[in-house]
């Protein structure tokens, strides 16, 4: 569902990501972790078609993000850590806008269900400018889910959410994966990654340090029974071990 081959991203003379490759299959949930500046957001934004790659191949559901941008973007949803909504539109009008932009048939029932799932029904007529940080995040998630994307990219999805909102978000991610979507979750909250993800990608200084299953990550860096936090800190210390692929 996602294929990344020798991906590179540079901003003038600064290399953000170098030589990144991985494949994610339908139903898999990938935790994308790394220190600040490791290249996580650059990878997500490039996969979503928000910024162009400097090199390599990025494919979403079989479509090249560069040569087939429209087909790729129809199949991917990107929820950034600070989603930009239209301040003059209500919550419901955001869903209506997405339905029109993506030519979604009979979308209203799905939209109503999403509002109920994320407890946004009381805010359906509220302007985006009137929403709390958490409500804005929930609105962005609903807009992404409305079109049933095959690939979903989350950048710090828990930001602004209360404990109940985090639980709803986690349940929704697992449900989407069960339905066959491929999902990438980038987060500094390692407990969230550990709860949700089947696979792990660790970036360090713009390069892939590890890609494989969660259990293989623990075994490679910290031994059996170790937590993801222990594995992460051992993997990203000043002199990390050679890259391993599970």
Sequence-distant (6+) residues with CB within 8 A of 57 are 3, 4, 5, 6, 7, 64
Is pLDDT above 80 for 180?
yes
Mean pLDDT, range 78-92, rounded to an integer: 95
CA distance 85 to 129: 8
Name the percent of the chain lying above pLDDT 90: 84
- What pLDDT is recorded for position 222? 78
> Token digits for 213?
């299953």
- What pLDDT is recorded for position 159? 86
Angle at which helices 108-117 and 133-146 pack, to 10 degrees? 150
The pLDDT confidence band at residue 127, using thresholds 50, 70 and 90, is very high
**2-245: CATH superfamily:** P-loop containing nucleotide triphosphate hydrolases (3.40.50.300)
Is pLDDT above 90 for 43?
yes
The pLDDT confidence band at residue 245, using thresholds 50, 70 and 90, is very low
Is pLDDT above 50 for 246?
no
Q: Which residue has the higher pLDDT, 24 or 240?
A: 24
Mean pLDDT, range 220-232, rounded to an integer: 83
**Domain range summary for the chain, segments of one domain joined by +:** 2-245
- Which of helix, strand or coil describes residue 152? strand
* Three-state SS sequence of 185-231: EECCCHHHHHHHCCEEEEEECCEEEEEEEHHHHHHHHCCCCCCHHHH
- What pLDDT is recorded for position 243? 53
- What pLDDT is recorded for position 238? 54
The pLDDT confidence band at residue 241, using thresholds 50, 70 and 90, is very low
pLDDT digits (tens, 9 = 90+) for 60-74: 999 999 999 999 999
- Which of helix, strand or coil describes residue 64? strand
Mean pLDDT, range 9-32, rounded to an integer: 96
pTM equals 0.92
DSSP for residue 29: E
CA distance 9 to 206: 9
Mean pLDDT, range 219-233, rounded to an integer: 84
């Amino acid at each position: 569902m996602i294929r990344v081959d020798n991906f590179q991203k540079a901003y003038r003379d600064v290399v953000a990501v170098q030589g990144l490759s991985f494949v994610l299959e339908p139903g898999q949930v990938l935790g994308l972790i790394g220190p600040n500046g490791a290249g996580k957001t650059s990878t997500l934004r490039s996969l979503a078609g928000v910024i162009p790659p400097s090199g390599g191949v990025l494919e979403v559901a079989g479509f090249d993000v560069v040569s087939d941008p429209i087909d790729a973007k129809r199949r991917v949803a990107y929820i950034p850590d600070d989603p930009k909504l239209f301040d003059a539109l209500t919550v419901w009008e955001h869903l209506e806008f997405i339905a029109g932009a993506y030519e979604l048939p009979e979308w209203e029932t799905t939209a109503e269900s999403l509002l109920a799932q994320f407890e946004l029904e009381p805010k359906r007529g509220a302007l985006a400018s009137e929403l709390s940080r958490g409500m804005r995040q929930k609105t962005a998630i609903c807009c992404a889910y409305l079109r049933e994307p095959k690939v979903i990219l989350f950048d710090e999805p828990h930001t602004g959410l209360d404990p109940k909102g985090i639980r709803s978000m986690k349940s929704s991610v697992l449900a989407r994966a069960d339905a066959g979507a491929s999902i990438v979750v980038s987060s500094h909250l390692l407990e969230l990654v550990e709860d949700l993800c089947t696979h792990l990608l660790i970036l360090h200084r713009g390069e892939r340090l590890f890609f494989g299953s969660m259990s293989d990550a623990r075994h490679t860096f910290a031994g059996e029974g170790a937590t993801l936090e222990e594995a992460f800190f051992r993997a990203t210390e000043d002199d990390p071990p050679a890259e391993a692929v599970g």
